[in-house]
Amino acid sequence: MSRALLIDIGSTYTKARLFDLNNLTLLASGRAFTTIETDVSTGLSKALAQLPDWETADYKLACSSAAGGLKIIAIGLVPALTAEAARRAALGAGSKVLATYSYQLTGEDINNIIKEQPDIILLAGGTDGGNQEVILHNARLIAASNLKQPILVAGNRNAQAKVANMLTEAGKEIYLTENVMPRLEELNIKPAREQIREIFLEKIIKAKGLDRVNQLIDGVIMPTPAAVLEAAALLADGTEDEPGLGELLVVDIGGATTDLHSIATGNPTDGAVNWQGLEEPYQKRTVEGDLGMRYSAPSLVQVVGEKKLKRYYQEYFSEPLDDFALEEYLAKLHNQPAYLAQTAEEINIDSLLGRLAARLATQRHVGQLKTTYTPMGAVKSQTGKDLTKLKTVIGTGGVIVNHEQPDFILAGTSYQDLERPELLAPLAAEYYLDQKYLLAATGLLAGVAPDKALALLKKYLLKL
Amino acid sequence: MTQQATVVLGVIGADVHAVGNQILAHALEEAAIKVVNIGVMASQKEFIEAALETGADAIWVSSLYGHGEMDCRGLRDKAVEAGIGDVMMYIGGNLVIGKQEWSKVEDLFLKMGFNRAYPPGTMPEEAISDLKEDLALRGV
Ligand code: B12
């Protein structure tokens, strides 16, 4: 019997699960508090103690979002070009982008970067053969600072050597990779993404003390969001032997953030449309730090507007929402990340917040169509991804999975829900639920046993 | 002028109006300015890369068919990224649809990063004399 032990070391819980890969069944699961502050293997041992014969599993792999996950500062030149490309590379590697900087850094920027305590600094700027001045300036400031973090340089090829010299001479730990935007509008984030993963494996795991798990298991191999993205890509594209589901969107609404992963080219579905702006990554991840169900609930309500929220409440639940109840509940959510809705009203507010988080995150993730009326008639141009024809939307994460009506929340991703006709959101997608939280686990398995990982996903995804 | 100035010339977007482009090329050459003419239906990228490749002092963009705004958005940013952020940029032709108040149109294009914008019917000589002045200030 072939078995896999797949672990998620989260910020609160360490969750371990043992799968039978022949019969595609979950054999057992265990859970304990994450103990990253002292010794992460203490919590892991407790979780493992709840599983039979885990020691002899064929694969023993973990992903982690403990100790803040993987935190990156992205630096580029023009906001819409190399700075955006650097940001996308960092997000695609499963990291949290603490901030994105463009143009010339200032001394104050450097102080802020130091305060933010990133794990990695991604330094880009200039196309190949293009601007060198700004990346050299920024490298000079970083060299003179007491930033100790690894610096990944992914800018103008012609400036790489000079940047590398400057930083190495200053005793910085540096890595070099291909430019995130070698030519205008051309996105090249794969090399940077892979290098970030490598730095994560080589350095960050150790720095965060996550290497202590190595005495028990094969190791932590990626940040949790990267595992989710891997699984989403596997599910969309399939393997050599088994077809995938095709283009899809994964929605993960958490307490603090809402993550969307689309695996789709996003090409215009209307032949007459021309695409403008930066190329879109096929595997695209966006993270909304102001949209969440607990810690970020107040900021979510602020984005929507209280008036509108009440209007929606009336519309969906056919009764008014009390001012005081809302305020009180929001304060509770912000301060108690583990709070579970009790009253019917609280449950309704939760449903509504979930739907709105999905809606706003979709608004920001998808592309838009702009129509310009010219003497030649209407001319349409698209920026970002066109997901109108996308057929599969998958909900994951505690909020959606534990909800009584997950499809109510997922409907927030639909074109009809966005109330903005220019946005290219799915018109008629089918909704699925990651009911057994398999995405991160199968993402871990995707690298070593892709067919099994895909089979598990297909077996347990619940069609709504 | 100590060295010969170089201008990249072209008609941006999906615009095929070729006559003005030819006239401008001719007028610039007459004025002893080197012309790199990338012709009609030129993309932003082609403008920037031609300027980069030839070390041009200026980019002259024509737009005749009315969607100059859409076609030119982000052009200056691309020049910055490509390392030629301070290249001189002029635009002329029929920049917007129909007749609109020129000062507003001009403002729009200056805000987009053009150094100068010209209303319909501008004679090439006017812009050439501006160019010579602008470049002289930069010591070209
Ligand atoms: C000939 C012509 C065509 C020909 C072009 C043939 C060709 N390959 O060149 C054809 C039939 C293909 C055509 C098609 C269209 N055309 Co037409 N066309 C004209 C016309 C009649 C003359 C253009 C011309 O050659 N002028 C002579 C040259 C010398 O002048 P110019 O182009 O304006 O350029 C001078 C100045 O503007 C200036 N200049 C230009 N660029 C720059 C840049 C700088 C930096 C500077 C300093 C100066 C400068 O210097 C130039 C030289 O003196 C004009 C009307 C007109 N009288 O201008 C309409 C006109 C330009 N066309 C127009 C339209 C609407 C179209 C179409 C959309 C029609 C359609 N519905 O299909 C299509 C668009 C096709 C496309 N994708 O581009 C409109 C544009 C409307 C607007 N902007 O508000 C115009 C103004 C007609 C009108 N009054 O409605 N067209």
Please report, for chain B, the start and end positions of each structural domain, with discontinuous segments joined by +.
Answer: 6-26+33-137
As a whole number, mean pLDDT of residues B82-105 equals: 93
Burial class of A141 by CB neighbour count within 10 A (0 to 12, 13 to 18, 19+): middle
In sequence order, what are the residues at sequence separation of 6 or more whose Cβ sits closer than 8 angstroms to the Cβ of residue A217? A5, A7, A44, A60, A61, A62
Distance between Cα A375 and ligand 1 center (Å): 12
- The answer to whether A357 and A298 are in contact (CB under 8 A) is no
Q: Is A378 on the interface with B (CB under 8 A)?
A: no
Instruction: Say yes or no: A276 and A348 in one domain.
Output: yes
Same domain assignment for residues A49 and A96: no
Residue A464, in any domain of the structure: no
Residue A439, domain member (yes or no): no
Question: Ligand 1 centroid vs B19 CA: distance in angstroms?
Answer: 8
- C-alpha distances (whole Å) from B90 to each of A148, A397, B62, B72, B124 are 46, 53, 9, 11, 12
Domain membership of residue A297 (yes or no) is: yes
Indicate whether A166 and A189 sit together in one domain: yes
Same domain, A260 and A312: yes
∠ CA A313-A315-A317, nearest 5°, is: 60
A407 and A294 together in one domain: yes
Q: How many domains does chain A have?
A: 3
Distance B130 CA to ligand 1 centre (A): 23
Flag whether pLDDT at B98 surpasses 70. yes
- In a shared domain, residues A19 and A131: no
Of A75, A199, A73, the C-alpha closest to A136 is A75
Tell me: do A153 and A260 sit in the same domain. Answer: no
Q: Is B55 on the interface with A (CB under 8 A)?
A: no
Can you tell me the ipTM of this complex?
0.71
Looking at the structure, tell me whether residues A59 and A77 fall in a common domain. no
Alpha-carbon distances, residue A24 vs A28, A240, A443 (angstroms)? 12, 19, 15
What pLDDT, on the 0 to 100 scale, is given for residue B49?
Answer: 86
Q: Which domain holds residue A292?
A: 248-433
CATH (one of 3.40.50.280, 1.10.1740.10, 3.30.930.10, 3.30.70.270) for B6-26+33-137: 3.40.50.280
Phi-psi sector, A131: left (phi>0), alpha (psi -120 to 50), beta: beta
Q: Do A372 and A253 share a structural domain?
A: yes
pLDDT at B41: 87
B66 to A132: CB separation less than 8 angstroms, yes or no: no
Q: Does one domain contain both A354 and A414?
A: yes
B97 reaches A (C-beta below 8 A): yes
Nearest ligand 1 atom, CA B18: 9
Residues near ligand 1 (Cβ within 6 A): A 375-376; B 14-20, 23-24, 60, 62, 64-66, 90-94, 97-98, 118, 120, 122, 124, 127
Considering the domain boundaries, does residue A461 fall inside one? Answer: no
Q: Which of B14, B44, B83 sits opposite A130 (nearest CB)?
A: B83
Report the alpha-carbon distance of residue A336 to residue A328 in Å, rounded: 12
What are the average pLDDT values for consecutive 10-residue runs of chain A, which has 464 residues?
94 93 95 94 96 96 92 94 94 94 96 96 94 95 97 96 97 97 89 96 92 94 95 97 96 93 94 80 95 93 94 95 89 85 91 96 94 68 93 93 93 94 96 94 96 96 95
CA separation for the pair A360, A409 (Å, rounded): 12
Catalytic residue status for B77: no
Does B137 have pLDDT greater than 80? yes
**B48: which chain A residues are within 8 Å (Cβ-Cβ)?**
184
* pLDDT for B14: 85
**Interface check A381 vs B, CB under 8 A:** yes
Question: Which residue has the least CA distance to atom 85 on ligand 1?
Answer: B65
The residue with tokens 């409440």 is A313
Q: How many CB atoms lie within 10 A of CB A203?
A: 16
Are residues A47 and A94 both part of a single domain? Answer: no
Q: Is residue A48 domain-shared with residue A96, that is, in the same domain?
A: no
pLDDT for position B1: 42
Is pTM beyond 0.80? Reply is yes
Q: Contact at 8 Å (CB) between A220 and A63?
A: yes
Q: What is the pLDDT of residue A108?
A: 97
pLDDT at B16: 87
Q: CATH number of the domain at A58, please.
A: 3.30.420.40
